[in-house]
Amino acid sequence: MADYHFVYKDVEGASTQWDDIQRKLGNLPEKPPAFKPAPFTPAPDEDSIPKDKAWIDEKNEDELEELEDDLDDDRFLEEYRKKRLAEMKETVKIAKFGSVVPISGSDFVREVSQAPPEVWVVVLLYKDGYQECGVLLRCLEELATKYPATKFVKIISTDCIPNYPDRNLPTLLVYNNSAAKANYVGLRSFGRRCTPESVALVLCQSDPVLNDGQNGSDTSSQAVMDGVRRRILERVVKDHEERGDGYSSD
């Protein structure tokens, strides 16, 4: 009598004659493929990687500092390393805001009036529970992320100006070099429909209030306004295309 439970082993693992018969009859699933480890690939040797501009661009600030002694024999790469390091430090120096920061009345002089002369400060006077204040705040939050070298703060209106009328909310104040440069009272100051783009156009209509930190503190208001107008046009085209989906002219 044959022993159908005899166990044998091969390179793919253990099996039995009984299991093999059952698989041929379709009563058992096929055996899984034999495990094969991924081929070993050694990590690239740092010394074997070509040292060029792309290689330097991948380095962070600390790594660029450490490369100072390694590139003495290559004047071009050393100069490029210094340029990249200066760009990184300038970006960190300029682009230091990026959000709408709440302040109190006691903070106003330090955070607004005493801000560095190259920094433009946009101040939102608001109160919780006012829908129009919420609309303008959301616009400023988006602008703050796009223009991180401009300082955006918000303060409860009566903490900033005692007895400030609620009917004037929201109000924007613009400061630069310790002086108030502009003020905008009410949501209607920013057009029929308040959007980040309409707020940006109003803020930059005469001064370079918005700064993205990419070109130092000399970003022109005209360049910002041209970019904003382009985004408005793109949004209008997109809205028109979405409304036209499935629309029949019959």
Same domain, 86 and 104: no
Same domain, 114 and 231: yes
Residue owning tokens 């109160």: 127
Q: Is residue 187 part of a domain?
A: yes
**In the predicted model, is pLDDT for residue 249 greater than 50?**
no
Query: What pLDDT score was predicted for residue 194?
Result: 92
Query: What pLDDT score was predicted for residue 131?
Result: 95
> Which domain, by its residues, includes 79?
52-94
Query: What pLDDT score was predicted for residue 123?
Result: 97
Query: What pLDDT score was predicted for residue 205?
Result: 84
Same domain, 152 and 202: yes
**Residue 221 CB neighbours (<10 A):** 18
Same domain, 138 and 222: yes
CATH of the domain at 216: 3.40.30.10
Q: Is residue 19 part of a domain?
A: no
Query: What pLDDT score was predicted for residue 15?
Result: 63
Query: pTM surpassing 0.85?
Result: no
Report CA-CA distances (Å) from 144 to 24, 35, 148, 151, 220: 69, 53, 6, 7, 17
Same domain, 58 and 147: no
Q: What is the pLDDT of residues 200-214, one digit of tens each?
A: 989 988 888 988 776
Q: What is the pLDDT of residues 67-107, one digit of tens each?
A: 665 555 566 566 766 777 676 666 555 557 889 999 999 99
How sure is the predictor about 226, in pLDDT bands with cuts at 50, 70 and 90?
A: confident
Domain C-terminal end among 39, 68, 94: 94
Same domain, 158 and 125: yes
Q: 151-156 and 179-185 as β-strands: parallel, antiparallel, unpaired?
A: unpaired
Q: Are 123 and 155 in contact (CB under 8 A)?
A: yes
Query: What pLDDT score was predicted for residue 65?
Result: 64
